[in-house]
Structure formats: structure tokens, C-alpha cells
Structure 1
Amino acid sequence: MEANEVQALVATAFPDGEVRVDLDGGHYTVTVVSAAFEGVRPVARQQRVYAPLAPVIAQGTIHAVNIKALTPSERDAG
């Protein structure tokens, strides 16, 4: 699966967020910056990003995913 396809899947869950997907071999790094993460615990953030990818992960299309889920202020601070 191409990085832009993964990006499109995740972007549906975060229409007002910034979504970037980097692909290195078969390993995907998904970075989402969204105000929707304000006040949300890190595990819950990752679950929200993981949710739209769950079907393709279950099919075995994707198997290695690293998720970075940040608020805009966290992105700007880091």
C-alpha cells in the first residue's frame, strides 16, 4: 500500500488535522497533528489514529506502523 493511500485513510478520521505518512520499506510512520487530541491520553490518541487503519492491518496489507499523535502546540514546541 502506498503512503498516499494510508494518508487518505487516516485523513478521513481527522479532516481538520495534518496527516503525514512516511514509508521506509514496509514500515509506515503516521504523524497526525490535530486539535482533537487536546486533553486526550497518549494511548487513546494512538487508538484514534489506528482505527481507520485496522481493516488493512487485519488483512495483512500493513503490518509495521509507528504512530505520532500530537496537538498543534506539541508540534510547535518540539
Structure 2
Amino acid sequence: MQALEVRDFLQARLPGVQVEVEGEGCNFQLNLISDELASLSPVKRQQQVYAHLNAWIADGSIHAVTMKFFSRAAWAART
């Protein structure tokens, strides 16, 4: 599995969320940029993303996922 595949998959299912993905194979680091997600509790944020990734996790396509969430302002200030 490639990072671009994960990025495109999540962006199609999470409207308005910018997804930056690093990694390949079955381990990925996700940076999710969205004011809406950033305003949720950490558990709610992860639930939003895992809801879409669970099938790939269950079949072993994805083994490990690390997520960081940013508001658009925080992301812009970071880069």
C-alpha cells in the first residue's frame, strides 16, 4: 500500500480535510488538517478516521497508524 493511496482514500471520505501521509507498506503517519476535526476530542477525531481505515486494518493492509491533527491556522504556522 502506498501513501498516496491512503491520502486519496481518506480525502474522498473526509470532505474538507487535507491529509498528508508518510510511510509505505503497512505503517503510516497521518497529518490531518481540518478546523472541524481539530475542534473534536482526541477520541472523536480518531474515531472519524478509523471508521474509514478499519477494513484495511482488519485485513492487514495497514498495521500501524499514527495521527496528528491540526487546525488550518496551526498547520500554516508549522510549515
**TM-score scaled by length of structure 1:** 0.82
Alignment-derived partner of residue 53 in structure 2: 53
Identity %: 35
Give 1:60's aligned amino acid: G
Structure-2 separation of matches of 1:28 and 1:20: 10
Structure 1 stretches of 4+ moved >6 Å: none
SS in 1 for 2:19: strand
- Work out whether residues 46 and 69 of structure 1, in 8 Å CA contact, stay in contact via their aligned partners in 2: no
Alignment-derived partner of residue 11 in structure 2: 11
Residues 1:24 and 1:6: Cα distance change in structure 2 (over 3 Å)? closer
Give 1:67's aligned amino acid: M
**TM-score scaled by length of structure 2:** 0.81
Structure-1 separation of matches of 2:35 and 2:3: 23
SS in 1 for 2:21: strand
Structure-2 separation of matches of 1:13 and 1:70: 18
The runs of 5 or more residues in structure 1 that have no matched partner are none
Shift of 1:17: 1.8
Structure-2 separation of matches of 1:4 and 1:48: 19
Residues 1:3 and 1:24: Cα distance change in structure 2 (over 3 Å)? closer
CA RMSD of aligned residues (A): 1.8
